Structure 1
Amino acid sequence: MRELLGDEQDELFQRFMDSVHDYAIFLLTPEGIVASWNVGAQRIKGYRAEEIIGRHFSVFYPQEALDRQLPAHGLRTAVQQGQWRDEGWRLRKDGSRFWAHVLISPLLGPNGEVLGFSKVTRDMTEKRESEQRLVQSERNLRLLVETVQDYAIFSLDCHGVITSWNRGAQRIKGYTAQEAIGKHFSVFYEPPDVARGWPQEELAHAAEQGRFEDEGWRLRKDGTRFWANVVITAIKDEHGQLLGFSKVTRDLTERRRHEEQLREREESLRLLVEGVRDHAMFLLDAQGRIKAWNEGGQRLLGYDSSQVLEQDVSMFYPEEDRLAGKPKAELSSAQSAGHLLVEGWRQRADGTRFWAEVTTTRLDGDGATPRGFIRIVRDLTERRRAETLEMEGRRLSEFIAVLSHELRNPLAPIRNAVAILDRFTNDEPQARWCLDLLGRQIGHMTRLVDDLLDVSRITSGKLRLEPVALELNTLVRMAVESAGAMVRQRGHSLSVQLAPVPIQIMGDTTRLTQVVANLLANAAKYTPAPGCVDVSVRQDGEVATMQVSDNGMGMSESLLQRAFKPFVQGVRALDRSEGGLGVGLALVKNIVELHGGSVSAGSAGLGKGTTITVTLPVQKQAAAEASATAQTVVPSPRRVLVVDDHRDAAESLALLLRMSGHDVEVAQDGPMALRTAAAFRPNVVLLDIGLPGMDGYELARRIRELPKLGGVRLIAVTGHGQQADRQAAAAAGLHSFITKPVEPEELARLLSPV
């Protein structure tokens, strides 16, 4: 960031130069062409900047100086000796002459090459005339000098001994005239400067060049230091014989203090910028060329300063953006607005891309054209990757929700049809076998849909538990009774070993039953018949442990490491006609961890069986043991309105309800449902949510507004099962929410009078 500070210093210096009216200060090219122009130069020489920049500086010399080739001599001497001083007549724009003091200094590059010259010209006409008048009226001038308070003005003989002393010298240096006159002027210099002969060297320079100017530390009478600007002028007679020196000293301590403070602030700023490693910060000129580069830029973009300085900023853009003109367009926008914040791909030195936040700020110049731009680049690749993953997760969740809805719709009439056939089929073994098969397959499909939705809820953090006090032995026994039939149907033996004492836990009954069912289903599917499946429960201190073991296919070491990730399955044999989606163990893991427990898998290898171990925290204060006895609900006849645009689902559900003794009407859309409800006056309305024209939520609100239907019971029967759907149903005033396909027992319970 040293370049940036240098530019800032240049700006401050330029402003300082423009405030100097008594000196013409400007730059020359190596050939002597004027390259810059300050206010003092315009005042002294009469040219405006646009009139003189680009012309040769010899335009300021009278013909006699040009005949002597004085301009070229001055440049050569400055290069040979480090600077060239001269006094003589010069020309203004209007042709008038003035006596000028000229200082030309070469500007050298890092390898010593001449980059140009600085030229300082002072109008010495009045001073020259004053010096002439001084010879004629020395007494008056001495009185005038004596009155000056802000400058120490005194004279020296040829050897440096003080011969006169003004009031300003007494005020600045502390010596009276009697104390100072007769002393050597080296008394004002610090001992190291005296030791190296600097006072005598100043006099030698002044004697040789006519004038010498310097800044440095000087001493007062009391030993304190002050920062002095010193001008020593050689006094010569008309024959050039040295008579002595005049010496003008100005106290610039306060100015130096401010300059030091400015340098300290600039250094602090430089260190601050250099210390920023997470942001690339660099300076551009008005054309987009890189002028300064920080360490963060090297870390982020892979280039060091030597590789990027003076290069176009487009080097960081991908090729397609360069071809499209994006680098220039962004600079143009920043120039117009003053500030521009964009995001896009940028390219590192090794060719890799990263997603960047780029801030471009205009640096205003003196005119309409900006001095340049400050650009700050931040790597947002990780944030963009996270946002992309989040967006993909949302899309996946939406896809699963749509998929589950589309799968539930055909399952609903099939489930209803199976329930209807079950009423008629009693003694036919083949028909009973077919019904059992259909029931199992519908149950299997329903579990797959539920598993997909549960995985989606877990990954999006939307799965919620409803914990209550539970007794683990009882929960496992009831879950095994529910899922054990599936294990035995596959030809496996099932053994259960419960803990000898009750184990009290807090948990969600439905979700923990789902854990046991998924583990039994996995064991049954991955164990060739006839196999053995064992379930055990025990308490180890404050931890309850449940294990499900089988003697089936087992797991390899690599599969053990991935078994609890979604959609991971073992090798499926060709003779296995039934499998799953590979989400069962992932659901088990997430549900158990939501309960504060853990789950692990163990296997001695392929063909040697698998053991899944689940641990859950035990409640320290045991809850009162509660027992629940399942009772078959026999509902009383009700007037039921079924609303569903899926004709098979609506008619099959209506037939099933009529067989249970209910009075049923069917409607396929909202307007038809409103007309039917007004005439039929149902006790219960079973309505689908995804209806054409008017959705189920709006229909529910409209039904409640019908005369004498304010107390009707509204139940959503839908293929949409997300948490947001349940919340929307509750907000619309629906009493219950069930997903397709509907279990006959659950439907009977919902139709019972409240």
Structure 2
Amino acid sequence: MNISKISGSFMTDRPKRTDALLMDPNRYRILIDAVIDYAIYMLDTEGYVVSWNSGAEHIKGYVPDDVIGRHLSIFFTPEERAAGVPDRMLRTAGTVGRCEGEGWRIKRDGSRFWALSVIDAVRNDNGDVIGFAKVTRDITQRYLTEQRLAESERRFRMMIESVADHAIYMMDIQGRVSTWNGGAERILGYAEDEIVGRNFASFYSTEAASLQEPTVAMEAAARLGKFESEGWRIRKDGSKFWANTILDAIYDEHNALIGYVNIIRDITEKIEAQRTLELAREELFQAQKMEALGQLTGGVAHDFNNLLTIILTSAELAQRHIVDHARVERVLGNICKAVRHGEMLTKHLLAFSRKQSLRPELLRIEVCLESVANNLLSSLRGNIRIVKEIASDLWPVEVDPNQLQLAILNICLNARDAMPNGGTIVLRARNHRIQQKQKDLNAGNYVEVSIVDDGIGIPVEMRDRVFEPFFTTKEVGKGTGLGLSQAYGFAKQSGGSMNFSSVEGQGTIMSILLPAAKNLAEEEVNQRQRVLVVEDNSTIAELAVEMLTDAGYHVNSCGTAQDALNLLKLEEIDILVSDIVIPGSMNGLELAEEVTRRWPNLSIVLATGYAASMTMAKAANFCLLMKPYDSEGLIAAIEQSLAVRRRDRQVRL
């Protein structure tokens, strides 16, 4: 096929076809019938249909035979027919030449659609109306969308208008107010017609406006999208209120700034309430401080008056009976006791103020607790027993041993007095690692000494004052109120702290935290940093490595017993953590037995999720870690295995 010939023939024939189309008397009908998105038809002067295009058939559902000769009003709703709308539109078009409108129209099947329609008068050469041209377009979807949008805007405006405790208004990019809600009128005092068009800088004080605060706020909101601030704002009547302000930038679909939304809340009452509360707290603090000082002064005066009375009367008796050596010796002995009591009173006060002279020594807490327990036996009633719960791997501490013993004795004697009907005092000690800095303690290694009783507990209203000097719940003459304050002061001066927990009717736990001796505690940590994890599940292995790394250990991992033995030959490992069920010729229990034989000082933890494996591990005396486990359980198992290793080493020595 010769394309060039066909193309040439087409180009040659095109003028002929164009002329034929232009000369066709039906060319306009052909054009109108080709339009299917518009109903285009003719009406006579009375409004009866005389022509009908395919678009009209498509939109309204009538075929030409059904509609030609019928009146225009059949397309209107009954309500509009009753109101004479069709005839009025025809009269308007005949008079003015054109009538345009929108409304509901009826299709042949009775359904409705929203129509945009235009009626144009058709005139002859003399200008007389000989009919009408009617064009109708179905814009239902656009109409419904506009209605939904209008309804949404109406509801949004109603919502904004109903907000009474927030001023919400819009501004243009120059800061001029363009909308105004009821809350804005209530808070700022302006009616809508008084403020729309004015700049929002009207709400700022003269000083704030001179500092360009409104401009700064708009620039920050434009840059960041949002700007929040607090400060004084001015109402219409000139009064001031403390405002929380949020300024949001508004952007169009092209990300161009078109304005701002400003939301203002009056928080004057809240600020005043906060200030009142702070003032009340300050007054309460001052009152409590003065009460504590008064109690301290009264306690010191009371005790020193007793001491002075003893010294004075003893000195007078000594003067009177100077020849009676035995009697003088007794009264001089009373003077010495009073002086020693005064010395102890002074030491307690110095301990609380953390200004006593300490003589720290490197010591083992367990030795101190044994000594305290022996000393307590003579001070306790027969219905009170002592129980010791002392960990075997305690870190040493560097503190004044005498002050430590005195602190523990003071707490134990308080515990004794809290159990009038007898009970149990537990002396407990354990290592305690603080990972992050706390309110009164730095991160580090500590030894925690706790004295636990099952006595009457401490009333809630008295718990804030238990460490105050001379504060006591005991009867007059039954205690000085200096025991716990001495213990607290000693702990703080030693670089540690003291805390307690108590439940009325169930007992109290008093705990002293003392920093571990750095060189030995760090040595222990370093010894615990080399861990080998044997786990064939790669996800569990990764998690175990992450948990142990976070806890400060150096961690390696592998998936089989043979890989573990190869690593142990090459690297120094302190702790083996192995799953019992691992692939290969040797399971985890067999690996543990082989490691024990070849590296007897290495600590071993066996992990398992099976009861049978648990029995095997217990029989082999290995530390067991049950699956699933978390970070706390994993580290606790490692610490337990290290304690077992130390105990076994001591037995061998």
TM-score calculated relative to the size of structure 2:
0.47
Instruction: Pick the structure with more helix per residue.
Output: 2
Pick 1 or 2: higher relative contact order, CA cutoff 8 A, min separation 6: 1
